[in-house]
Structure 1
């Protein structure tokens, strides 16, 4: 998640004050970096063994649609079976009347579900962009934080709306229920056994039990700091989110949640985290390092990216990770932490990547930049296309069943490319 525009308005002063008040029990650890330096990196605080946690949480349900939530699923795997666009052809574009910072997702009926900072969720026809319905959340967002709805198997849409609310809608836009939370609501993570995890910016993680006939807020855990990271879920059921400069690992104990460990990333964390099949969490930071953190909180690899990152990582089912940074570079990293491709579309000219990449079934990767460019590169890092849109791109992209790429701009336009 990204908050640079907020920071430019003085929010960094607030964060600094909060960071000074937040303390975490931690111990230094020494771990090997991807470059083999063996230098001390990060800190881990541990708690007593919590047992196996709630069974089945780490087994994710089958995707409800071709792209049902931010990053495709609760591991940010970009696990689509489709092949994305091979050329820069705009199928349609639609003005939505507000900054399209939120990332689009796809409903069970194929509708493109795209929200705006004006606080309205739109359902659009995937072929034409024509409106099917809208839901007005009666409020607006004032940030550059990209969040997305999540779609459940029965078609229910969980929308992180304005005024710190999580709204559940039918697939035709009718309100089922609304839950008030303590801070701006981040993207929901759909896990196993009817569990949905939702972080909010006040520093709380909430666990919901949601079935077609009922919903229940099961527990809420104070994680001890401002949170800009949507929850992600590891294969062992561990939930990951951020708290100021920490990566926080949380165990669902059934009727309560508990912190397993904290990894100190030294500087504020403003991204969500992809999780590899072996449980390695790919963590971006604002002190110029990217980490692979094992399920026990120790460092599997790390390397210097020489810039901050507001680009949430995705980790494909084969363990390959993809992420951008504020210098405009997109890196592709092997499961062992080796950089296999370092892509800089503009060379030495800087443009920031605030979107999370989207990766298709063939390893083609797509992303947008704050300069308003959207890029496609194949699995060998050869450029497929570059296309200039009408504004800065903050929204996380989605790939449809037919390979169409959907993403929005801060000028209020949603694009379908393919």
Structure 2
């Protein structure tokens, strides 16, 4: 009764009721609201979005008024306005809301705007083996680094195609020198990986010469497997376990296409054939008892026992269209991630079965893959650009629009994400989705980057009629302290989860 009487007397006297959020007017007919903003770590010169909502029990809000505290009396009457701070500093942002009765509430928050973070890089060298290419190298291809610092990359489709090569380069610091280049006789449509003995594994498009093992020192062919029971491969970088066993798929469905495992000596351990094509780079579980691979014919994920090749799950699980190309990855909790042409998918291995944890519609993510930042956020390339997802439920946090083709991102320890573009740039974006830099590299597709422990980035790109390898030195950098910061998890592309 006391509140009603006070209100009645106030209205008779024509008094305006102004209620701040922290005053003690008992909320008499006052609206109530709160606001937030994005990005959460804003920087100077970058547009911010402020967004407000009524709080529970609020009177209906009819007016929204913002004061941005920038010393220029900048204001807005929109509910969710954009605003850009031109200088770093801490600003007091005031949101005042009003209801139809004229009662107001004021909410004040401090916003700290930082300087644009320094990103110092040097394009140290570019190297070309001068083999003409007839079309783009596979975008998901990434360089691999040996224990002695040798950098291995591929010239994916030489001219003629039989000239496609695996190339080894000695990094001399300021320059690079050819160590060896080995032609593998057919189109290479995947990235290499490095075995436990320092050898190089690479798949080719050729049905009769599908899997090569090359000597890392001189490039000589140690063994080659193909012919009956094995068909050509695409988008399937071999995974290598701690014992040196190799796992890879093939690009044909039947009768002999499938999924295969080999010993380091080249003996076939097991095969799964006649069940679909496996256009994917597999991933190993932490205990290496299971290898996961994407069946592109079904559009579903398989869990396979590494010992004998038996299918672990009685039914394959997954969503999305059957499109090839995904580079599988894994979270620290064992969640498996893969991409299709329409979705990014997270799968939980429950032992005897697998289950979809979540799936998120992302156009054209098929031939990329998911990597993980130090804060746990997920990143993938797509035809939309670079996409950041919440690992808990797959919701999209942000998208940085750019033109990308098959590049798998890499994340450094400062939270910066690197993704190759189709127009000759390695694009660097921070963890809030804000552009940090565009590093010019050639004039065509830039592939999947590899980040070494000292912050060096190696990446392949198209320049004119050649594939080039680039070395970029980034100050105060290195791979993110996360479970899966780049394609294949490490600089050897082994896809080991240990």
Normalising by structure 1, what TM-score?
0.70
Whole-angstrom distance in 2 between the partners of 1:267 and 1:374: 29
Report which structure shows greater RCO (CA 8 Å, sep ≥6).
Answer: 1
| 1:321 counterpart = 2:378 | yes
1:129 corresponds to which of 176, 189, 202: 176
Whether the 8 Å contact between 1:111 and 1:123 is mirrored in structure 2 is yes
Whether the 8 Å contact between 2:152 and 2:166 is mirrored in structure 1 is yes
1:89 corresponds to which of 81, 100, 122: 122
1:406 corresponds to which of 432, 454, 458: 458
Residue of structure 1 equivalent to 2:143: 104
Query: Are residues 298 and 235 of structure 1, via their aligned partners in 2, closer, same or farther at CA, if it must alter by over 3 Å?
Result: same
Superposed, 1:50-89 pairs within 5 Å as 86-89=119-122
Residue of structure 2 equivalent to 1:208: 262
Secondary structure at the counterpart of residue 311 of structure 2? strand
Q: How many pairs are equivalent?
A: 321
1:277 corresponds to which of 326, 329, 332: 332
Secondary structure at the counterpart of residue 323 of structure 2? coil
2:393 corresponds to which of 332, 337, 347: 337
Whether the 8 Å contact between 1:332 and 1:341 is mirrored in structure 2 is yes
Superposed, 1:167-186 pairs within 5 Å as 167-172=212-217, 173-180=219-226, 181-184=230-233, 186=236
Whole-angstrom distance in 1 between the partners of 2:367 and 2:306: 31
Displacement of 1:109 in angstroms is 1.4
Residue of structure 2 equivalent to 1:225: 276
Could you say which structure has the larger radius of gyration?
2
Whole-angstrom distance in 2 between the partners of 1:322 and 1:231: 18
Query: Are residues 332 and 266 of structure 1, via their aligned partners in 2, closer, same or farther at CA, if it must alter by over 3 Å?
Result: closer
Whole-angstrom distance in 2 between the partners of 1:153 and 1:206: 18
Residue of structure 2 equivalent to 1:15: none
Displacement of 1:341 in angstroms is 4.0
2:427 corresponds to which of 356, 367, 375: 375
Whether the 8 Å contact between 1:233 and 1:240 is mirrored in structure 2 is yes
Query: Are residues 238 and 256 of structure 1, via their aligned partners in 2, closer, same or farther at CA, if it must alter by over 3 Å?
Result: closer
Whether the 8 Å contact between 2:305 and 2:312 is mirrored in structure 1 is no
Superposed, 1:127-276 pairs within 5 Å as 127=173, 128-141=175-188, 145=189, 147-161=190-204, 163=206, 164-172=209-217, 173-180=219-226, 181-184=230-233, 186-202=236-252, 203-210=257-264, 214-222=265-273, 224-235=275-286, 237-243=289-295, 244-252=297-305, 254-258=307-311, 260=313, 261-270=315-324, 271-276=326-331
Residue of structure 2 equivalent to 1:114: 153
Whether the 8 Å contact between 1:301 and 1:337 is mirrored in structure 2 is yes
CA-to-aligned-CA distance 1:196-238 (integer Å, 9 cap, x gap): 211121241111222xxx3421001126222221111233532
CA-to-aligned-CA distance 1:364-401 (integer Å, 9 cap, x gap): 21111123221112334343211232233253221133
Give me the CA root mean square deviation. 2.6
CA-to-aligned-CA distance 1:302-352 (integer Å, 9 cap, x gap): 223355543211245875421021122x12233313547423255xxxx23
Whether the 8 Å contact between 2:417 and 2:429 is mirrored in structure 1 is yes
Structure 2 runs not aligned, ≥5 long: 1-117, 159-163, 474-498
Query: Are residues 174 and 306 of structure 1, via their aligned partners in 2, closer, same or farther at CA, if it must alter by over 3 Å?
Result: closer
CA-to-aligned-CA distance 1:96-119 (integer Å, 9 cap, x gap): 323543321112211110111222
Structure 1 runs not aligned, ≥5 long: 1-84
Whole-angstrom distance in 1 between the partners of 2:309 and 2:367: 31
Residue of structure 2 equivalent to 1:71: none
Displacement of 1:253 in angstroms is 5.7
CA-to-aligned-CA distance 1:73-131 (integer Å, 9 cap, x gap): xxxxxxxxxxxx93453111122323543321112211110111222111112232221
Whether the 8 Å contact between 2:368 and 2:381 is mirrored in structure 1 is yes
Normalising by structure 2, what TM-score?
0.59
Secondary structure at the counterpart of residue 258 of structure 1? coil
Whole-angstrom distance in 2 between the partners of 1:357 and 1:223: 33
1:312 corresponds to which of 344, 369, 376: 369
Query: Are residues 253 and 165 of structure 1, via their aligned partners in 2, closer, same or farther at CA, if it must alter by over 3 Å?
Result: closer
Whole-angstrom distance in 1 between the partners of 2:364 and 2:148: 41
Query: Are residues 121 and 138 of structure 1, via their aligned partners in 2, closer, same or farther at CA, if it must alter by over 3 Å?
Result: same
1:391 corresponds to which of 428, 443, 451: 443
